[in-house]
Structure 1
Amino acid sequence: MSNQFQLLKQKRFLPFFLTQFLGAFNDNLFKTVLITLVAFHASTLGNLDGATMATLLPGLFILPFFLFSATAGQIADKYEKSRIIRLVKVLEIWIMVFAAAGFYLHQLWLLATALFLMGVHSTLFGPVKYAYLPQQLNTQELVGGNGMVEMGSFVAILLGQVLGAWLAIQPDYALLTSVAVIGIAMIGYVSSRQIPVTPALSTALRIQWNPIIETCRNVKLIWAQQSLWLAIVAISWFWFFGATLLAQFPNMAKLVLHGDESVFILMLTVFSVGVGIGSLLCEKLSRNKAMLGLVMIGGIGLSCFTLDIYWVATHLATESGIQPFDYHQFLSHANHWRLLIDIALIGVFGGFYIVPLYVLIQTLSEPAYRSRVIAANNIMNALFMVVSALFSIALFKLGYSIPQLFLITALVNVLVMGYLCMRQPNYYTTFKAWFRPKDA
């Protein structure tokens, strides 16, 4: 059995894995219920424009990453990590109690505040999450461990979104959702109690509470190491790429593929399973091979299969549907299977791309500064996701369609891969090494 699955039998990994899985699950469960209510049942939450609020709420979740990531990175470097994780899980329980009050009272401001606080929760957990692994796993285990974490995160996101969408349409959604989110948060806290002590590596650090000053300091730190800077740019680009595509899945399912909500869920499921498979394969594929080569293979796959979605979707967009397909009817068309395979392979190659990059920043970062480097990465990721939304809006304003947005994103990805190779030729040389005969 692969070493990465053996990690699930060990106390240094399993409680941490379950804790982060449940956190991601709860995040997405709550967000999906709230956004679904706002989009489709806005009248139950007062007088508001559902479409506008459904657009603004995800931004409210991302905002804390800009405001508090720099502080969160310092805290994770200065204090013992298992204690931080437990405190974050206690915070999650109280946030969900607050959210339950919002559901029962039908008060959007309470729910929006809870969403913002869940963004704070994720901001605090992020630097600890990726700095914990290099302290508890040896170098040979890092690829497998990160692959397991990425697989778990995407599966948790999928399950949270599917369950959240189901809960939002139940007549007694307030009770069911409240029990679910509080219960999951409590189970996550119990799991966090089993995480082993992980000592602080920078106990003498004096925390700079001004996020602007600390963010600038972190940027200077990673800019001084160009290999580290490029890895963070590459990771942030992945979140740009993924956010651009995933944000269009609902409208693509409805307007291009003539499907209903079940088709959207099918697309999301296929993508998430693909990322999980790709992430798990990274350990085996990276053995005795340079990880940066796997990044380039992943990047090429992302462009190739996104381009194929453009060709398939352009053809399908010319077809007229009398009634929306459900997923059974959708699967009866051969071209739809081709599109689903493309989505799955985008997920697989996305896993190839992202896991080695996370391992790279973990190994290149000085241990005493590792959490702050990861915090800077989180800020960059959030920035690229915001730019992704603006990028999509701008192209739609210019009259481009959803398939054309996919085409342009795939072509820009080719440029980004070229940029990485020019700035750091090791990306290209290790990619070529993958295809050399063993005796060469």
Structure 2
Amino acid sequence: MWNLLATRRFGPLFVTQFLGAFNDNLFRTALVFIVAYDVAAADPEKAAMLASTAAGLFILPFVLFSGLAGSAADRRDKAAIARAVKLLEIGFMALGWAALAIGSLELALAVVFLMGCHSTLFGPVKYAILPQHLRDEELIAGTGLVEAATFVSILLGQVAGGLLATQAVGPIACALSGIGWLAARAIPPAPPEQPGQRLDWNPLSTSRAALATAFGNRRLLVATLAISWFWALGAIYTSQFVPMAKNVMGGDEAVSTLFLAAFSIGIAVGSVAVGRWLKGRISTRLCAAAGLVMALAGGDLWFSVPAVGSTPKDLALFFELAASWRVLADLLLLALAGGVFSVPLYAVLQTAGPAQNRASAIAANNIINSLFQVSAVLAAGAAVGAGLGVVPVLALSGLTVLLLLPALQGLDRQA
């Protein structure tokens, strides 16, 4: 598995997507900290509103332009698209540097939207290109490494965005985007599977066509809904880590960061491990069991979190409590099962439909994925606001996987 990183057919793509995801989260997190501790330091409600606005601006391009991105990746050389997208990222990060330097919140928010466009355009490429460059027995391993890198880069970007001085964020982001472009230049050509297809520039019609591709194939549909559920659950958990750590467990910022790290690293480990467990076979036979483990681990949080107590505690005091280790184990187990759950489903997206529509299937997943995440976070926030409580919301959210289990159990039989 790890030897793939040293190959030209995978290594440059891995570096390109890792640095892109890192930059996205570095800039967005730095902006959130600037808003919370400077722009709206005396107005928590304004800070929360601006943070939500930034999150919404980043997700919006996935809904608007994923269909177009998928259509382009199916009709043009994917490596050429990757290089073009990375050039755009250099320009976007230069704008972000300027926004932070002059203190323009409006320009910074515009850059967040542009980075969402960057990720939207690159999203179908990074998964659809793998079957062209990897052998069938390598696909699960390659997909797992991409998934693991995505979550690790999100974690590191968020940590760096909170720790780095504001004046350092811009130049670092520009430098990394330049390195990402150099890496993209080394990605081998990946021409369209069916050359000569006309590119439709209409975002509405391309989105409609992408969704028709996914919803017209039962295996693609089940994989899309299951992956979108997984990302929605992840969005709920990561959005509630701070309220759970601070308000329910009395933890400080370090405890919140620990939860995010455990969640991200757990998913990364599961994403890599599933390739070994499946021995390279594209199979979803572990998905239902992994979903059940996620539900059980999330349910156990209902009992383990209250046992920690709400007295104020830093990281050292947190680790002194036996109940804290149970909470951490629940999060790690849930996340590890999440990696095992999601990677085979991405392999289904890459292989279940016609090769010439592979990127469009990924694009359809990105559209549904974004809608699921936004809806889930809003619903979870409303439930917490209505008095249900953070921990019950997390536990009940995890139990919703039970609705997917019958379809997941039959997914392998439909191959």
Q: What is the rounded CA distance, in whole Å, between the counterparts of 2:251 and 2:179 in structure 1?
A: 36
User: Structure 1, residues 134-186: CA drift from partner, whole Å, max 9, x if none?
Assistant: 0000110000001111111111111111111102xx3xx2x211111111111
Report if aligned partners of 2:219, 2:414 keep a CA contact under 8 Å in 1. Answer: no
- TM-score normalised according to structure 1 size: 0.90
Aligned counterpart, 2:210: 218
Aligned counterpart, 2:53: 56
Q: What is the rounded CA distance, in whole Å, between the counterparts of 1:429 and 1:279 in structure 2?
A: 23
Aligned identity (percent) is: 39
Report if aligned partners of 1:45, 1:106 keep a CA contact under 8 Å in 2. Answer: no
Aligned counterpart, 2:26: 29
Aligned counterpart, 1:410: 398
**Paired AA for residue 203 in structure 2:** P
* 283-292 or 240-249: bigger deviation: 283-292
User: Structure 1, residues 414-435: CA drift from partner, whole Å, max 9, x if none?
Assistant: 22324x25xx6346999xxxxx
User: Structure 1, residues 185-206: CA drift from partner, whole Å, max 9, x if none?
Assistant: 1111111111111112233222
Aligned counterpart, 1:84: 81
User: Structure 1, residues 29-49: CA drift from partner, whole Å, max 9, x if none?
Assistant: 111101121123224899992
Alignment equivalent of 1:296, drawn from 280, 288, 293? 288
SS of corresponding position for 1:86: helix
Q: What is the rounded CA distance, in whole Å, between the counterparts of 2:359 and 2:80 in structure 1?
A: 15
Aligned counterpart, 1:306: 298
Q: What is the rounded CA distance, in whole Å, between the counterparts of 2:22 and 2:282 in structure 1?
A: 33
For structure 2, the residue ranges without an aligned partner over 5 or more in a row are none
Report if aligned partners of 1:45, 1:107 keep a CA contact under 8 Å in 2. Answer: no
Matched, 1:380 2:368: yes
Matched, 1:20 2:5: no
Report if aligned partners of 1:278, 1:350 keep a CA contact under 8 Å in 2. Answer: yes
SS of corresponding position for 2:114: helix
User: Structure 1, residues 79-107: CA drift from partner, whole Å, max 9, x if none?
Assistant: 11111111101100100110111101111
Aligned counterpart, 1:425: 410
Aligned counterpart, 2:271: 279
Matched, 1:130 2:127: yes
User: Structure 1, residues 98-142: CA drift from partner, whole Å, max 9, x if none?
Assistant: 011110111111000000000000000001111110000011000
User: Structure 1, residues 42-63: CA drift from partner, whole Å, max 9, x if none?
Assistant: 2489999212111221011000
**Paired AA for residue 378 in structure 1:** N
Alignment equivalent of 2:249, drawn from 257, 260, 265? 257
Q: CA RMSD in A?
A: 2.0
Q: Note closer, same or farther for the CA distance 1:15–1:107 as it changes in structure 2 (3 Å cut).
A: same
Matched, 1:108 2:100: no
Matches within 5 A, 1:389-404: 389-404=377-392
Report if aligned partners of 1:131, 1:370 keep a CA contact under 8 Å in 2. Answer: yes
Report if aligned partners of 2:152, 2:265 keep a CA contact under 8 Å in 1. Answer: yes
Q: What is the rounded CA distance, in whole Å, between the counterparts of 1:44 and 1:245 in structure 2?
A: 25
Q: What is the rounded CA distance, in whole Å, between the counterparts of 1:291 and 1:356 in structure 2?
A: 6
Q: Note closer, same or farther for the CA distance 1:90–1:162 as it changes in structure 2 (3 Å cut).
A: same
Q: What is the rounded CA distance, in whole Å, between the counterparts of 2:252 and 2:316 in structure 1?
A: 11
Aligned counterpart, 1:71: 68
Runs (4+) off by over 6 Å: 44-48
Q: What is the rounded CA distance, in whole Å, between the counterparts of 1:107 and 1:127 in structure 2?
A: 32
Aligned counterpart, 2:330: 342
SS of corresponding position for 2:284: helix
Q: What is the rounded CA distance, in whole Å, between the counterparts of 1:286 and 1:414 in structure 2?
A: 23
The alpha carbon displacement at 1:305 in A equals 0.6
SS of corresponding position for 1:293: coil
For structure 1, the residue ranges without an aligned partner over 5 or more in a row are 431-440
User: Structure 1, residues 226-273: CA drift from partner, whole Å, max 9, x if none?
Assistant: 111111111111111111111101111111111111111111111111
**Paired AA for residue 356 in structure 2:** A
Q: What is the rounded CA distance, in whole Å, between the counterparts of 1:115 and 1:52 in structure 2?
A: 15
Aligned counterpart, 1:268: 260
Q: Note closer, same or farther for the CA distance 1:261–1:397 as it changes in structure 2 (3 Å cut).
A: closer
Aligned counterpart, 1:245: 237
Report if aligned partners of 2:137, 2:281 keep a CA contact under 8 Å in 1. Answer: no
